[in-house]
Amino acid sequence: VGFCRVLPRIRRRVARDLRKPGLSQEKVVAAVVRLLETTFIRVGNEEYASENGSFGLTTLRDRHAKVRGDTIRLSFRGKSGKDVEAEVTDPRVARVVKRCQELPGQLLFGYVDDDGERRTVSSEDVNTYLRETTGADYTAKDFRTWGGTVLAAVALRALEGFESEAEAKRNVVTAIDNVARRLGNTRAVSRRSYVHPAVIESYLDNRLEETLTRRANRLLDGAPAIPSVEAAVLKLIRTSRPRPARPATRNVRAGT
C-alpha cells in the first residue's frame, strides 16, 4: 500500500532524469527503473548470472536487447531457466539502451563516470536510487509485488461474474495464472507472495466490480499501470475486511 503512494514521486524523478543530457548513472538507472515498472522483470544480480546463467535487468548483456526505433525488445533466460520476452516502446529509454550498447563491454546497462570511465549499473544502484527518491526502504522487488496485485485485480475484473463457488475459484485460478505468466513465477508463489489477499476477497464478495473501471483491461495487454486503476486497487485494499467463512455469493452475469 505504501509503495503505491510513493510511485508518483518515483515516476516524476525517472521522467526528469531521463531528460538529462549525456549518459550519467542517474539517467541509466532511471531507464532501468522505467523498465522495471513496465515489464515487471526481476532486477537481477551478478551472482545468479555467473552461477546459473540466468539474468535480470541489471545483468543483461548487449545481446539480450535489440532496439528498433523507439522500441526495445528484450529476450533472455530468466530465473529457473524460463525464457523471458518483453517489448517496450519508449523513445527515451530506447535511446539510453542504444547508447549503452555503444559502450565497450558486454553488460548492457552502463554509464560514463566523471573521469570518463565506463561503469556498470547494479541492483544495489537501483535500490539506492529508490530509497533516495522515496525516503523509505523500498526496493526493485516492490514493483513486482505491487504489479502482481494490480494485475490480479484487472484479470478478475475482466472475468466479471460467477454463478457458483466452484466457478469463482476457477476464475481466481485463471487470474493468478495470468499474474504468474507476467511475473515468471509459479501459481503458488504468485498467489502467496505477489497478490494482496484483499483483491481475491473483494472479488468473492462482489466488491471488485464496483471499485475498478473498465479502463483497467488495458493492463492485460501489457500497458503500464493506469493511475486511476492503481488508486482503485489502493482503495480496495484499504477498505478490505476479513471475509467470513461462507460459500461464495452468487454473482449473476447481466442478461442471465
As a whole-number percent, the residues of the chain with pLDDT over 90 amount to 66
The answer, yes or no, to whether residue 255 has pLDDT greater than 60, is: no
Indicate if 132 and 153 belong to the same structural domain: no
Indicate if 42 and 114 belong to the same structural domain: yes
Task: Name the DSSP letter for residue 105.
Answer: S
What was the pLDDT predicted at 133?
Answer: 98
The closest alpha carbon to 209, from 168, 171, 173, 251, belongs to: 251
**Which comes out higher in pLDDT, residue 92 or 208?**
92
Domain ranges, residue 28 = 2-137
Indicate if 126 and 185 belong to the same structural domain: no
Q: Average pLDDT in the 22-31 region?
A: 97
pTM tops 0.75, yes or no: yes
Q: Tell me, what CATH number does 119's domain have?
A: 3.90.15.10
Q: Average pLDDT in the 187-204 region?
A: 94
What was the pLDDT predicted at 247?
Answer: 47
What was the pLDDT predicted at 193?
Answer: 95
Measured CA distances, 41 to 34, 76, 215, 216 (Å) = 11, 11, 23, 21
What was the pLDDT predicted at 254?
Answer: 38
